[in-house]
Protein backbone atom coordinates (compact mmCIF):
# COMPACT_ATOMS: atom_id res chain seq x y z
CA UNK A 1 0.00 0.00 0.00
CA UNK A 2 1.34 3.43 -0.94
CA UNK A 3 1.55 6.14 1.71
CA UNK A 4 -0.47 9.25 0.89
CA UNK A 5 1.53 12.38 0.15
CA UNK A 6 0.95 15.15 2.68
CA UNK A 7 4.05 17.29 2.03
CA UNK A 8 5.73 18.53 -1.14
CA UNK A 9 8.68 16.34 -2.17
CA UNK A 10 10.56 19.48 -3.30
CA UNK A 11 10.09 22.07 -0.53
CA UNK A 12 8.31 20.05 2.22
CA UNK A 13 5.37 22.47 2.14
CA UNK A 14 1.93 21.12 3.05
CA UNK A 15 -0.05 19.67 0.13
CA UNK A 16 -3.79 20.27 -0.12
CA UNK A 17 -6.27 18.27 -2.18
CA UNK A 18 -7.58 20.24 -5.17
CA UNK A 19 -8.85 17.56 -7.58
CA UNK A 20 -11.08 14.53 -7.04
CA UNK A 21 -12.19 11.94 -9.58
CA UNK A 22 -14.98 9.35 -9.33
CA UNK A 23 -13.68 5.88 -10.20
CA UNK A 24 -17.15 4.81 -11.41
CA UNK A 25 -18.25 7.58 -13.78
CA UNK A 26 -15.07 9.64 -14.29
CA UNK A 27 -16.68 12.80 -12.88
CA UNK A 28 -13.87 15.18 -11.93
CA UNK A 29 -14.18 17.94 -9.33
CA UNK A 30 -11.61 20.68 -8.86
CA UNK A 31 -11.35 23.16 -6.00
CA UNK A 32 -10.24 23.33 -2.39
CA UNK A 33 -11.25 20.27 -0.38
CA UNK A 34 -10.88 19.78 3.36
CA UNK A 35 -8.21 17.28 4.32
CA UNK A 36 -8.39 14.88 7.20
CA UNK A 37 -6.34 15.93 10.20
CA UNK A 38 -4.76 12.48 10.03
CA UNK A 39 -3.31 13.39 6.64
CA UNK A 40 -1.32 16.13 8.38
CA UNK A 41 0.64 13.52 10.35
CA UNK A 42 3.97 12.20 9.15
CA UNK A 43 3.95 8.71 7.65
CA UNK A 44 5.62 7.39 10.85
CA UNK A 45 2.87 8.95 12.95
CA UNK A 46 0.19 7.54 10.64
CA UNK A 47 1.74 4.08 10.99
CA UNK A 48 1.73 4.48 14.80
CA UNK A 49 -1.96 5.47 14.76
CA UNK A 50 -2.76 2.42 12.63
CA UNK A 51 -0.95 0.06 15.03
CA UNK A 52 -2.56 1.80 18.03
CA UNK A 53 -6.06 1.39 16.55
CA UNK A 54 -5.55 -2.25 15.54
CA UNK A 55 -4.31 -2.90 19.10
CA UNK A 56 -7.50 -1.16 20.33
CA UNK A 57 -5.43 1.22 22.41
CA UNK A 58 -3.69 -1.57 24.31
CA UNK A 59 -0.31 -0.01 24.99
CA UNK A 60 1.26 -3.37 25.88
CA UNK A 61 0.26 -4.67 22.42
CA UNK A 62 1.60 -1.52 20.73
CA UNK A 63 4.91 -2.06 22.56
CA UNK A 64 5.09 -5.61 21.15
CA UNK A 65 4.07 -4.67 17.61
CA UNK A 66 6.56 -1.80 17.33
CA UNK A 67 9.28 -3.17 19.62
CA UNK A 68 9.33 0.00 21.75
CA UNK A 69 9.01 0.75 25.47
CA UNK A 70 6.00 2.06 27.37
CA UNK A 71 7.43 5.61 27.71
CA UNK A 72 8.17 5.65 23.97
CA UNK A 73 4.58 4.64 23.18
CA UNK A 74 3.31 7.45 25.43
CA UNK A 75 5.71 9.93 23.80
CA UNK A 76 4.61 8.92 20.30
CA UNK A 77 0.96 9.19 21.33
CA UNK A 78 1.59 12.72 22.68
CA UNK A 79 3.33 13.64 19.40
CA UNK A 80 0.33 12.39 17.39
CA UNK A 81 -2.07 14.35 19.60
CA UNK A 82 0.04 17.47 19.10
CA UNK A 83 0.32 16.76 15.35
CA UNK A 84 -3.48 16.69 15.13
CA UNK A 85 -3.54 20.23 16.49
CA UNK A 86 -4.43 19.51 20.09
CA UNK A 87 -2.43 20.84 23.02
CA UNK A 88 0.17 18.36 24.22
CA UNK A 89 -0.62 16.65 27.49
CA UNK A 90 1.48 18.67 29.90
CA UNK A 91 1.03 16.63 33.01
CA UNK A 92 2.98 13.41 33.46
CA UNK A 93 1.75 10.20 34.94
CA UNK A 94 1.07 10.70 38.60
CA UNK A 95 3.02 8.61 41.10
CA UNK A 96 0.01 6.35 41.75
CA UNK A 97 -0.56 5.77 38.04
CA UNK A 98 3.09 4.81 37.60
CA UNK A 99 2.95 2.34 40.48
CA UNK A 100 -0.32 0.91 39.15
CA UNK A 101 1.23 0.50 35.67
CA UNK A 102 4.17 -1.39 37.22
CA UNK A 103 1.80 -3.57 39.24
CA UNK A 104 -0.26 -4.43 36.13
CA UNK A 105 2.90 -5.25 34.20
CA UNK A 106 2.31 -2.43 31.71
CA UNK A 107 5.78 -1.03 32.41
CA UNK A 108 8.88 -2.49 34.02
CA UNK A 109 10.15 -1.40 37.42
CA UNK A 110 13.13 0.20 35.64
CA UNK A 111 10.81 2.26 33.41
CA UNK A 112 8.75 3.20 36.45
CA UNK A 113 11.83 4.44 38.32
CA UNK A 114 12.82 6.53 35.30
CA UNK A 115 9.33 8.05 35.21
CA UNK A 116 9.35 8.70 38.97
CA UNK A 117 12.74 10.42 38.76
CA UNK A 118 11.27 12.71 36.11
CA UNK A 119 8.21 13.34 38.31
CA UNK A 120 8.33 16.91 39.62
CA UNK A 121 6.13 16.28 42.68
Please state the pTM of the whole predicted model: 0.54
Number of domains in the chain: 1
Say if 9 falls within a structural domain: no
Question: CA-to-CA distance for 99 and 94, rounded, in angstroms?
Answer: 9
Q: Kindly state whether residue 111 falls inside one of the protein's structural domains.
A: yes
54-to-47, 76, 92, 107, 113 alpha-carbon distances in Å:
11, 16, 25, 20, 29
In this structure, is residue 96 part of a structural domain?
Answer: yes
57 in any annotated domain:
no
State the 10-residue block means of pLDDT for the chain, 121 residues long: 71 84 92 80 90 95 94 90 72 70 90 76 48
101 within domain boundaries: yes
The confidence score (pLDDT) of residue 96 equals 75
Would you say residue 64 lies in a domain? no
Range of the domain at 121: 91-121
Amino acid sequence: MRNPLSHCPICSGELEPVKLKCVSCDLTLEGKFPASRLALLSSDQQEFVEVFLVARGNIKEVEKQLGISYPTVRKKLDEVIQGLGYAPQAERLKREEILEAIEKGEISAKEGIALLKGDTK
